[in-house]
Structure 1
Amino acid sequence: MNELSVLLGYANTLWHLAGFVTTPLELVSFILSVATVWLNIRQSHWGWLFAIISSVTYGLVFFGSRLYGDMGLQLVFITVSFYGWYQWLHGDDSHDRLPVTALNARGRWSAAAGWLVGFALLAWFLKSYTDTDVPNADGFLTAGSLVGQLLLSRKKIENWHVWIIVDVLYVALYLHKHLMLTAVLYAVFVGMAVIGLRAWSEDGQSADGGAGRRMALE
């Protein structure tokens, strides 16, 4: 137990890095998170392993900053990551690699409704049972992140739309909480989400074209 306390104490030591105040734990989480999104853009299932590890490290970072919604979100991310890993490898009807697809109108409305309901519940919980000073922002972005992660696990292209909205707002939240390196990370995530949206859109169009050609031949 003492060794763990010493390790956590070192991991949360303040570092001055390129004009930012950060900690070793936040820096490691930064690197792992960038690797996760880069692998997601490339549709590599190994991205889910990095997601699990970065969720553990960021859970500790958020606990120290009293962002309890984000901390709890990391636990959910770990669970969803195992689900997403399986889905990407064996998730379609033929148990082959999961293709990129888009939500229909009903699916988009369901995702939006789930986001709003999740926001209401999480904001109420955070106000009632924690000492966070940003319950509404934390609840809204936590709910949005859950929606984005679930869409990502099913390779729905709309996950990138959700992440763009969430990541822009997270930049402001982390600046408010003085998590400067994490704010920079989420600014990077905005750009990576735009790249991911374009890459997956091209992949989806290629898949649709291939399906159309096969139907014509048949």
Structure 2
Amino acid sequence: MPDLFDIDAIFFTVWGYGMSYLEFFGVVSGGVAVWLSARGNVWSWIIGAVSVVLFFFLFFQIQLYPDMFLQVFFLITNIQGWYQWTHPKPGEENAQSELRISRIPTGQLMLWTSICLLATAVLGTFALNLHTWFPVLFSQPSAFPYVDSFTTVMSIAATFLMIEKRVECWYVWLLIDSILTYIYFMKGVKLVSAEYFLFCFVALYGAWNWTRQYRENSVQTT
């Protein structure tokens, strides 16, 4: 029986590219989760939890360490997101008794931006030196330490915005997905790269759909 968590365990080959079980099922579950998020469906958090476990093992094996650590965070926030969407505070629920969509105040947006830039510098320096400080655990240097750290930090910010059902989360995801499309292609995980390219269009749809729902909710509450 193949090791489903080994990137060298090939599920099938297409156009000369060996597709591992790990990459295939990680991509499929992740794609379904993102599409459900754009639809505002609470099941996105449950399916997303499956995806992040698979990607944890994938990123470790291709030396994208900030992305690997990010999956631990994602697992926790998938649980938090599911709970917060299904248990809104009084006055924050929509017609389905779930958390309604909102927008982030300008002041909070500026604060988030400043924190993310500072965190990128700190995490990038940490990722750059991981193989020096912990050679037993990390035998290879981190690939794209600062760029990867930027997408990691911004992914954290976007996730918190999504947990709160803020429209702006989709614009952040669009930026992240554009960068990761290139990074994953350069690292040779081409299906993951293709998935993130498609995620760019899902992010555009999510921004449009959530904005539409936000305006409809605003009309109903006035």
1:29 aligns with 2:26: yes
**Does structure 1 conserve the Cα–Cα contact (< 8 Å) formed by 2:55 and 2:71?**
yes
- Taking the aligned partners of 1:59 and 1:133, their CA distance within structure 2 comes to 16
Work out whether residues 128 and 142 of structure 2, in 8 Å CA contact, stay in contact via their aligned partners in 1: yes
Aligned residues: 208
Question: Does structure 1 residue 104 correspond to structure 2 residue 100?
Answer: no
The residue number in structure 1 matching 2:62 is: 65
For the residues of structure 1 that align with 2:123 and 2:88, how far apart are their CA atoms? 30
Question: Residues 196 and 68 (structure 1 numbering): CA distance in 2 closer, same or farther, change over 3 Å?
Answer: same
Equivalent in the alignment of 2:9: 13
Q: Which amino acid aligns with 1:49?
A: I
Q: How does 1:140-179 map to 2 (within 5 A)?
A: 140-179=150-189
Match status 1:200 vs 2:210: yes
CA 1:195–1:18 in 2, change beyond 3 Å: closer, same or farther? Answer: farther
1:197 is aligned with what amino acid?
A
SS in 1 for 2:221: helix
The answer to whether the Cα contact below 8 Å between 2:5 and 2:22 also exists between their aligned partners in 1 is: no
- Which residue of structure 2 aligns with residue 124 of structure 1? 125
Per-residue displacement from partner, 1:82-115 (whole Å, max 9, x unpaired)?
1111110113334741110001111111221222
CA distance in structure 1 between the partners assigned to 2:184 and 2:61 by the alignment: 13
Match for 1:135 among 124, 145, 156? 145
Instruction: Give the SS at the match of 2:50.
Output: helix
Deviation at 1:211, TM superposition (A): 1.1
Question: 1 or 2, which has the higher helix percentage?
Answer: 1
SS in 2 for 1:167: helix
Of residues 203-212 and 10-19 in structure 1, the stretch that sits farther from structure 2 once superposed is 10-19
Q: State the 1:126 CA deviation.
A: 0.4
Aligned partner letter, 1:105: T
1:86 maps to what in 2?
A: 83
Deviation at 1:11, TM superposition (A): 5.7
Report whether the alignment pairs 1:43 with 2:43: no
2:49 and 2:75 in contact (8 A); partners too: yes
The amino acid across from 2:109 in the alignment is R
1:162-193 Cα shifts (integer Å, max 9, x gaps)? 00000000011111111111000000100001
TM-aligned CA deviation for residue 53 of structure 1? 0.7
Q: Give, in whole Å, the separation in 2 of the partners of 1:93 and 1:108.
A: 24
State the identity as a percent.
25
Gap runs ≥5 in structure 1:
213-218
Q: 4+ residue runs of structure 1 moved beyond 4 angstroms? A: 8-11
Moved more, 174-183 or 84-93: 84-93
Amino acid of the structure 2 residue aligned with 1:24: Y
The runs of 5 or more residues in structure 2 that have no matched partner are 132-140
Aligned equivalents of 2:155 and 2:6: distance in 1?
29
Give the TM-score, by structure 2 length. 0.88
Cα distance in 2 for residues equivalent to 1:108 and 1:149: 14
Map of 2:115 onto structure 1: 114
- Answer yes or no: is the 8 Å Cα contact 1:148–1:159 preserved in 2: yes
CA contact (8 A) 1:11 1:24 kept: yes
Shift, 1:129, TM fit: 1.8
TM-score (norm: length of structure 1): 0.90
